[in-house]
Amino acid sequence: MQSISIGCDHAGVAHREAIIQYLTQKGYQIIDHGTTGADSVDYPDFAHPVALDVETGRARFGVLICGSANGVSMTANKHSGIRAALCWKDEIASLARQHNDANIICLPARYISHAEAILFTETFLQTNFEGGRHQNRVAKIGC
């Protein structure tokens, strides 16, 4: 089964735990970078390790969670080959994979429920990149 790297800041702890429990039950191997508590932490400290796991191939996909998902998305997208997508609807999670070949899903903990976080993550992981006309566009993303 695929390895999934996951990390969050203090705002995403409960969502992270729900996602880990769900993915573990589905047979995924989880690389957990935390955080595990409610004390304020800096989201880049958790986003960089997840992005590095995906960048180096240690994990096939990543899941990042913070309050708005903007911070973790911006941080992860600094890494070469990372296409981190902020997803707040199931259709966005699907399109991020289909059209953008996203490899990290970024979830806004303060704006979605645990059930939505799990649904969006599952959709993201189960959706294939369409390639074709989208491949040329994705190839132009890197600097």
> Each residue of 23-40: pLDDT tens digit?
999 999 999 999 999 999
Percent of the chain surpassing pLDDT 70: 100
Q: Check if the beta carbon of residue 119 is closer than 8 Å to that of residue 90.
A: yes
What is the tens place of the pLDDT at every residue in 43-92? 999 999 999 999 999 999 999 999 999 999 999 999 999 999 999 999 99
Query: Which residues have a catalytic role annotated?
Result: 66, 99
Structural domains counted in the chain: 1
Task: Evaluate the CA torsion angle 23, 26, 31, 37 in order and state its sign.
Answer: positive
> Letter for the amino acid at 132?
G
pLDDT of residue 109: 98
Percent of the chain surpassing pLDDT 90: 97
pLDDT of residue 143: 83
**Residue spans of alpha helices (H) in 26-68:** 44-56
User: Which CATH number characterizes residue 95's domain?
Assistant: 3.40.1400.10
Residue 127: domain span? 3-139
C-alpha–C-alpha distance, residues 6 and 3, integer Å:
10
